[in-house]
């Protein structure tokens, strides 16, 4: 007989529980809409996404810059070598000038 009384008693609070749940649901929906309004009202999301997208678009340029810089480093080394060559050649030039004057005597 417990089953009979318990089944009748189980349906006792069902309606009030449902109503309570509805109230809670309404409150929750209100709070969430309030939060969404706060977020959308200040256009923080849009501003920040725009700025982030701008920076993301500069990624390609940053890669190019890095590549150029590396090449420039190599070129600087080459230029250093060439400068040494030129310096030695310049010294030779002076020696040659002296030799020529010696020969002319």
CA 26 from centre of chain: 40
Six token digits for residue 82: 């060439």
Q: Whole-number minimum distance, CB 32 to other proteins, in Å?
A: 13
Among positions 32-91, residues that touch other proteins (CB under 8 A) are 34, 37-39, 41-44, 47-48, 50-52, 54-55, 57-58, 61-62, 64-65, 68-69, 71-72, 75-76, 78-79, 82-83, 85-86, 89-90
Binding track over 14-43 against other proteins, x by CB under 8 A? --x--xx--x----------x--xxx-xxx
DSSP 45-100: HHHHHHHHHHHHHTHHHHHHHHHHHHHHHHHHHHHHHHHHHHHHHHHHHHHHHHHH
CA distance 37 to 96: 87
Check residue 101 for interaction with other proteins (CB under 8 A).
no
Which distant-in-sequence residues (6+ apart) come within 8 Å of 39 by Cβ? 45
Q: What CA dihedral angle connects 45, 47, 51 and 54, to 10 degrees?
A: 100
The CB-of-28 to other proteins minimum distance in angstroms stands at: 14
- Point out which residues bind other proteins (CB under 8 A): 1-2, 5-6, 9-10, 12-13, 16, 19-20, 23, 34, 37-39, 41-44, 47-48, 50-52, 54-55, 57-58, 61-62, 64-65, 68-69, 71-72, 75-76, 78-79, 82-83, 85-86, 89-90, 92-93, 95-96, 99-100, 102-105
């Amino acid at each position: 007989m417990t089953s009979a009384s318990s089944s009748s008693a189980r349906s006792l609070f069902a309606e009030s529980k449902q109503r309570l749940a509805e109230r809670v649901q309404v409150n929750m929906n209100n709070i969430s809409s309030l939060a969404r309004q706060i977020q959308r009202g200040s256009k923080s999301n849009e501003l920040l996404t725009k700025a982030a997208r701008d920076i993301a678009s500069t990624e390609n340029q940053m890669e190019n810059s890095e590549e150029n810089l590396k090449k420039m480093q190599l070129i600087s080394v080459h230029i250093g070598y060439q400068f040494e060559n030129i310096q030695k050649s310049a010294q030779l030039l002076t020696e040659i000038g002296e030799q020529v004057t010696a020969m002319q005597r």
